[in-house]
Amino acid sequence: MGLRESNRSFAEEIGANDPVWIVGHGTRTEPHSHVRHVRAPRGIHSFEPDEMTVTCGAGTSLAELDAALAGAGQYANLGQLRHSSGTVGGAIAMACNDHLRLGRGPIRDSLLEVHLVDGNGILAKGGGPTVKNVSGFDLCRLVVGSRGSLGAIAEVTLRTRPIARSLRWFLVSNVGTSELGAIRAGVHRPSSLLWDGRRAWLCLEGHPHDIASQVEALRSRGLDVTDHHGDIGLEDFQYRWSIDPTDVVACVEQHPESCIAEVGVGIVHHRRAQPPRIVDPGTRAIQSRLLDAFDPRRRLNPGLGDPWTW
């Protein structure tokens, strides 16, 4: 059965009546036992290395996708550092960006086209493999991070990227705010810059000579830069705060030894839950209208988190 035929069968399986839960590999959420379970189509439909695009079913595992793209020296940025054993659809629906987002960008930038089934059982498409400009609903961006509440993802077309010749992590000791500024000024587009108020972890990707020259430039500024191997310890911080990137330094200074921040991104890995944020009433109204349009009876992945945290 071809992928498009699988999409139609997927839509028929979801139907238009009872609540359903889209099941992947269970790496991000536990499926509800009291609703009907369905699985998205899987398999790679096409891969165009020269065009740097790949089309696959949402149920395709990230491991399968990575293996297929690696043969051509490419990858799709879907936050694999956080959930390498999940599915493509799960990565997109939950938008679990990893800590290389500073250089690689967010997951939403990788999604070019999406086929999904809405709460009425209707198969819809948004975007395209050669999209330059979008008018009307940018369905691809709406779907990323929507937790399956707007539609069950059936098929996606993703932008791929070349795998860098080298990826290296470095540890910079004795880093205060002035040293942090020197690091940011001394490197070009780092893939990640993490900081806990005392130390910084820096990830650089690219040609080995370019990486080496940037590290030497940092050392010439008097910074203590050494190679870093092994885990950073982000798994010790249970919660992820989302704040304005300009507030990261103040947040770390207010919570010493309690967090590690992704500098330039606005994500803070913290030991405590983030205080509740006030959601603008206009934003709530827009999100309610979207849910009413795509899933008026709230039958897709019912109860999966607070939709106001999209």
**With contact defined as beta carbons under 8 Å apart, do 44 and 60 qualify?**
yes
Instruction: Please identify, among 143, 162, 181, the residue that sits at the C-terminal boundary of a domain.
Output: 162
* Overall domain count for the chain: 2
Neighbours of 278 (CB within 10 A): 5
158 & 175 share domain: no
Asked, for residue 276, whether it belongs to a domain, the answer is no
210 & 251 share domain: yes
- Cβ neighbors of 113 (< 8 A, separation 6 or more) are 55, 125, 126, 127, 128, 129, 131, 140, 156, 157
The reported pTM is 0.90
84 & 194 share domain: no
Asked, for residue 278, whether it belongs to a domain, the answer is no
9 & 125 share domain: yes
Angle between helices 177-186 and 208-220 (to 10 degrees): 140
Asked, for residue 264, whether it belongs to a domain, the answer is yes
Asked, for residue 72, whether it belongs to a domain, the answer is yes
**With contact defined as beta carbons under 8 Å apart, do 77 and 163 qualify?**
no
82 & 105 share domain: yes
149 & 7 share domain: yes
Asked, for residue 154, whether it belongs to a domain, the answer is yes
60 & 178 share domain: no
Instruction: Please identify, among 162, 185, 213, the residue that sits at the C-terminal boundary of a domain.
Output: 162
Report the distance separating Cα 80 and Cα 63, nearest Å. Answer: 9
Beta bridge partners of 47: 54
Report the Cα 43 to chain-centroid distance in Å.
21
The structure tokens 């659809």 sit at 89
Beta bridge partners of 157: 55, 113
- Residue 84 DSSP class: T
Tokens of 181: 């500024």
99 & 204 share domain: no
157 & 201 share domain: no
- Residue 234 DSSP class: G
135 & 60 share domain: yes
Q: Give the Å distances, CA to CA, from 173 to 170, 179, 183, 202.
A: 10, 10, 12, 11
Where do the DSSP E strands lie in the chain? 20-23, 36-39, 44-48, 53-57, 74-75, 111-117, 123-127, 152-159, 161-162, 166-173, 192-195, 200-206, 224-227, 239-242, 259-262, 267-270
Count, in order, helices (H) and strands (E) of the chain.
Answer: 9, 16
Asked, for residue 260, whether it belongs to a domain, the answer is yes
Report the distance separating Cα 266 and Cα 234, nearest Å. Answer: 15
Asked, for residue 63, whether it belongs to a domain, the answer is yes
Domain holding 195, by residue range, is 166-270
186 & 147 share domain: no
Q: What is the CA radius of gyration of the chain?
A: 21
Instruction: Please identify, among 118, 133, 162, the residue that sits at the C-terminal boundary of a domain.
Output: 162
**With contact defined as beta carbons under 8 Å apart, do 151 and 177 qualify?**
no
- Cβ neighbors of 65 (< 8 A, separation 6 or more) are 44, 54, 56, 76, 78, 88
Give the three-state DSSP class for 87: strand
What is the pLDDT at residue 77? 96
* Phi, psi for 235 (deg, rounded to 5): -65, -15
Asked, for residue 129, whether it belongs to a domain, the answer is yes
Give me the helices (H) in 71-109, please: 88-94, 101-104
| CATH number of the domain to which 262 belongs | 3.30.70
pLDDT in tens, the chain (310 residues): 566 789 999 999 999 999 999 988 776 666 677 889 999 999 999 999 999 999 999 999 999 999 999 999 999 999 987 777 889 999 999 998 999 999 999 999 999 999 999 999 999 999 988 755 555 568 898 999 999 999 999 999 999 999 999 999 999 999 999 999 999 999 999 999 999 999 999 999 999 999 999 999 999 999 999 999 989 999 899 999 999 999 999 999 999 889 999 999 999 999 999 998 888 899 889 889 999 999 999 999 987 755 544 4
Tokens of 158: 């993703």
Tokens of 248: 């990261």
58 & 153 share domain: yes
